A and B are shown apart, each in its own frame.
Chain A
Amino acid sequence: MTPPINLSPGEKVAWNRTAGLTWLWPVGAVLTIAGVVVTVLTGDSTAAYAGIPLGVVLVIVGTVRVNVDASGVSVAPVVAPFVRRRIPLDQIENAWAKRTTLTELHGFGYRIQPGRHAVALRPGDALWLKLKSGREFVVTTDDAASAAGLIEALLRRDEDMRSL
């Protein structure tokens, strides 16, 4: 159990972590290139249909960067940081870490279920957010307890500042 973090009023924080399986995006790149090469060489598009979309998906969601700071949480693919999913701090109700299986999140990748969006890259440690809208957001990342602890500390500090 990580000890709770206490933030002083002016303190600035940044937590980040690369999440996911680091070999996934090279595999995706190889698949994509192989798909293109096979298509060009054989003129048979069935290989492309199989290889290219899967490859592109692996490249984009294979490895993501998870950021936590005073503005909130953001998740972005390492290779495409502009495809960013942001959750502002003021939309977050609370945060916790939980060991999560891919079955629980209904599969691999960016999963959309009623009431929950999830970036599911591998089973194991995951950061869970309960949003004020009642929905949930999940991202599988190592050291999720630190991220959750920091979000909780930021939320507490915001509350303290409002009550002053």
Chain B
Amino acid sequence: MLVRIDPSLSTPLSDQVASSVRRAMAEGDLQQGQRLPAAREVARSLGVNMHTVLRGYQILRDEGLIELRPGRGAVVTAVTPQSRAALFEKARQLVADARSMGLSEAETLALVSSCMSSPAQV
């Protein structure tokens, strides 16, 4: 798993840690039941405080992506990484469909953002 954080960005470092882990899940690099590297180890490698990494892990726990077990570290919970990967797959499919219909990048993005700004539909 690759964690990249850039202190020059305005995004909090813990958010950046969380999004690195999410990316690894989406790419299938981190699968269900697999353990995340120890926060202390990641923090040492990155040269940041351990609590920054732990806060990142807590974001993922709150999203239901991982479970934090005292003394056992962070474990990827069963279903979510796959559905996340599936979501990415759908996004790729959307882009492919839009391209085949001749929509430009700006039009495709506008379509997505109009969906996001409209009230949630089931």
Contact = CB atoms under 8 A, between A and B. Distances in A.
Interface residues of A, number: 19
Given A69-B45, A70-B47, A13 B4 contact: yes
Interface stretch (B5-13, B81-89, B91-99): B5-13
B105 interface: no
B81 to A, nearest CB: 16
A8 B46 CA distance: 14
Contacts of A8: 6, 8
Interface in A43-59: none
Range, interface on chain B? 10 to 19
Nearest to A70: B47
Contact of A16 (B4, B5, B41): B41
Contacts of A143: 29
Nearest to A8: B6
Interface string A1-35: 00000011011111111100000000000000000
Contacts, number: 50
B6 A10 contact: yes
Interface string B59-82: 000000000000000000000000
B2 A67 contact: no
Contacts of B46: 12-14, 69
A3 to B, nearest CB: 12
Contacts of A7: 4
Nearest to A17: B1
16 contacts: A7-B4, A10-B6, A10-B7, A12-B5, A12-B6, A12-B7, A12-B46, A13-B2, A13-B4, A13-B45, A14-B2, A16-B1, A16-B45, A18-B35, A67-B45, A70-B47
Interface of A: 7-8, 10-18, 65, 67, 69-71, 143, 146, 150
